[in-house]
Chains A and B, each alone.
Chain A
């Protein structure tokens, strides 16, 4: 998390607004070219926020893979295609398929990318704190935060358990079948220990006054700054202008 980056230091809800607008824009944009520009813009935004390397890695690992699968399937199996670019073996590459895949794929890259950018520049607890300050109940914010945090925790935990199994003679290195067989011995302790942890978590929460009816105070606080006002205005103006442009394109 960069320390003094102007964009990264914006209030979480401002950044969230940006991400939502970017998602809306990516659904709204008409052609491949404009979507590509949108995607490049998100890349530039990530670079300007100082998180491009994290952003592009996560983007390629998630949406990138989806894009690739989508591209191959649509290119080869698009129904009722008229223009066939070339044929090899039993496959033929279809122009309409490529266009459809690029359109949909770029839209996904933009929409997914804006969320990936958001979580790359925002600490989860800051985001949840800003939601809470915007009126969400502390209980709901706890649910949001623990959901956001559970994935990395479970991933780490399943790795540890897998190691413990390997040390007991369970073969985890090898083909799909070998790895399928370890699924159960790994899942059981994972689930059991999560359930076993529930009671302690409830006690810990209770010990910290989780169900108290008083308004909770916060150890750390974050505040919106004048920069946020400027950012919100700029984002809104750009968004309205884009909507206007899109409608103009429509009407003409």
Chain B
């Protein structure tokens, strides 16, 4: 059974404006999916339907077999953890430690488990040394990591990250990569929205490309970034490694920096 299933899902706001139309897809447990698309393509609306923050106007969203329309968001949050785009909409404790422990406490876990899960989340997010700090004293990029930790601490089977890469520096991106590794090792399904094509290409296995309220194509990085018509229609850029490989005449099938380096070292396509 897929862990996430959308069946002919349409979402329209009360004023009649629709944000996504007729979406159908399913996601297997443990997958790592990046949703790509321009602003306004319907990405955030789609992921918000995965934890019941929005409920479909028509069609069905099944999360772990449960219809989101029959549960409150708070109930869905036990299955799907959602990290908001703006950390300031989420943080409301005076210390990072309290912030991280809040989620597991809401799940009514016993004190030892709360402690253990918070510690785990803090460690993989690299926040061990900052547990007593006030989150508002940290820069925005670090606050984002705090909100990720506070969702991870709930140990949900699905983690949804809305633009985790925005504003992150090199270290932050590496940290995110490590977090994704840890989640995959634990069999957690990760859904992310991102505009960082290079990051997506190197850390995600499946891509959903959205444009004008619809899901245009799903596929691997190689499939997506070689489909010129798709890239044009959805107005997506290639990862820079891809772009560079194309311009150097090294082939259109390169997506990651590693692949580019290998091809360069092999001297493929390069004229001396």
- Residues of chain A whose beta carbon lies under 8 Å from any beta carbon of chain B: 157, 160-161, 163-174, 185, 188-189, 192-193, 196
Collect the chain A residues with CB atoms within 8 Å of residue B92's CB.
161, 165, 185, 188-189, 192
Query: With A and B bound together, what is the CA distance between A189 and B86 in angstroms?
Result: 12
**Of B72, B90, B107, which contacts A164 at CB under 8 A?**
B90
Question: Which bracket fits the contact residues of B?
Answer: 20 to 34
Judge whether B74 and A171 touch: CB under 8 Å. Answer: yes
CB nearest neighbor in B for A157: B89
Q: Does B84 contact A (CB under 8 A)?
A: yes
Query: With A and B bound together, what is the CA distance between A173 and B72 in angstroms?
Result: 7
Q: Does B106 contact A (CB under 8 A)?
A: yes
Judge whether B136 and A168 touch: CB under 8 Å. Answer: no
- Residues of chain B whose beta carbon lies under 8 Å from any beta carbon of chain A: 51, 53, 72-74, 77-78, 81-82, 84, 86, 88-93, 102-103, 106-107, 136, 150-151, 154
Query: With A and B bound together, what is the CA distance between A157 and B90 in angstroms?
Result: 11
Query: With A and B bound together, what is the CA distance between A160 and B91 in angstroms?
Result: 12
**Of B53, B89, B136, B154, which contacts A169 at CB under 8 A?**
B154
Collect the chain B residues with CB atoms within 8 Å of residue A174's CB.
72
Judge whether B74 and A161 touch: CB under 8 Å. Answer: no
Judge whether A168 and B88 touch: CB under 8 Å. Answer: no
Judge whether B136 and A167 touch: CB under 8 Å. Answer: no
Collect the chain B residues with CB atoms within 8 Å of residue A192's CB.
92, 136
**Can you identify 10 A-B contacts, CB atoms within 8 angstroms?**
A157-B89, A160-B84, A166-B53, A166-B74, A167-B81, A168-B77, A168-B150, A170-B74, A170-B106, A171-B72
Collect the chain A residues with CB atoms within 8 Å of residue B72's CB.
166, 171-174
Judge whether B88 and A169 touch: CB under 8 Å. Answer: no
Collect the chain B residues with CB atoms within 8 Å of residue A188's CB.
92-93
Collect the chain A residues with CB atoms within 8 Å of residue B90's CB.
161, 164, 168, 189
Collect the chain A residues with CB atoms within 8 Å of residue B106's CB.
168-170
Judge whether A169 and B103 touch: CB under 8 Å. Answer: yes
Judge whether A169 and B82 touch: CB under 8 Å. Answer: no
CB within 8 Å for A189 and B77 given contacts A168-B154, A169-B154, A171-B72: no
User: B27 to chain A: closest CB distance in Å?
Assistant: 18
